[in-house]
Amino acid sequence: MKTAEDYQNGQILLIDKPLHWSSFQAVNKLKYALINKLRLPKKFKIGHAGTLDPLATGLLLVCTGKFTKRITELQGQAKEYTGTFYIGATTPSYDLETEIDQTFPTVHIDEALIHETVKQFLGEIDQKPPIYSAIKKDGVRLYEHARAGEIIEIASRKTTIHEFEITKIALPIIDFRVVCSKGTYIRSLAYDFGKAMHSGSHLTALRRTKIGDYDVNNGVDVVQFEASLTEST
């Protein structure tokens, strides 16, 4: 059983973030569990190495104590995701956070076109982040501009797709697995993938399965982690 000193000296916690939780909520829950059960100081350092959207589940690396210095290093590692695209419709947020705004034809889409389109997204690509994202422009987060109904020009950025595999096709649903570099938006990949097939697409499910060599199969739920802590006397 790890002690308060262990967490101060530094740990990397593999957390399986539940659906609808923000990454901030998950870290906060862990922080106060450690403070309350192990009597750690209130200024105890803890942080995550890469945000997961509330509508995504899966691996959240949480660093404690002295290991918070490793967050930048961990953020730079390749990430693996699995998930689902819905073909034939788009949403403003590129996922289920917002309602469908446009529908598109899908009669021309078959397995051959899907697999051929995948090839366009392998290697280094230009990608625009979703307007519903936490990136700041002029000091304001993009999602705040979006919710205010403002039209903002978003610059594209370079990202790398190391692997892109279609694991199941049952149109309008496509399941996939992607290994990508830091800064890749899978929501944008969903949108761009649909557009490349002369249709539309949005993300309906997303799970982060790996960060570097860290695997979600070795992760624990936030509540399970809290329950595993033994109170310090």
Encode pLDDT of 66-94 as tens digits.
999 999 999 999 999 999 999 999 999 99
Mean pLDDT calculated for residue range 24-37: 94
**Is 175 noted as a catalytic residue in this protein?**
no
Q: Which two tokens stand for residue 179?
A: 């290994």
Chain centroid to Cα 90, Å, comes to 19
- The pLDDT score that the predictor gives to residue 163 is 98
Q: Which residue has the higher pLDDT, 42 or 113?
A: 113
pLDDT digit string (tens) for 130-177?
Answer: 876 555 556 655 556 556 555 666 678 899 999 999 999 999 999 999
- The pLDDT score that the predictor gives to residue 133 is 59
pLDDT digit string (tens) for 163-218?
Answer: 999 999 999 999 999 999 998 999 999 999 999 999 999 999 999 999 999 999 99
Alpha-carbon distance of 116 to 58, in angstroms, equals: 29
CA angle 184, 161, 197 (to 5 degrees): 95
CA angle 27, 33, 35 (to 5 degrees): 100
- Asked if 73 and 39 touch (Cβ cutoff 8 Å), the reply is no
pLDDT digit string (tens) for 97-125?
Answer: 999 999 999 999 999 999 999 999 999 99
Return the biggest CA–CA distance within the chain: 67
- The pLDDT score that the predictor gives to residue 155 is 75
- The pLDDT score that the predictor gives to residue 233 is 37
pLDDT at 61 over 80: yes
Query: Annotated catalytic residue: which of 6, 16, 53, 175?
Result: 53
Q: Name the pLDDT band for 229 (thresholds 50, 70, 90).
A: confident
- The pLDDT score that the predictor gives to residue 230 is 72
Provide the residue type at 232 as one letter: S
pLDDT at 63 over 70: yes
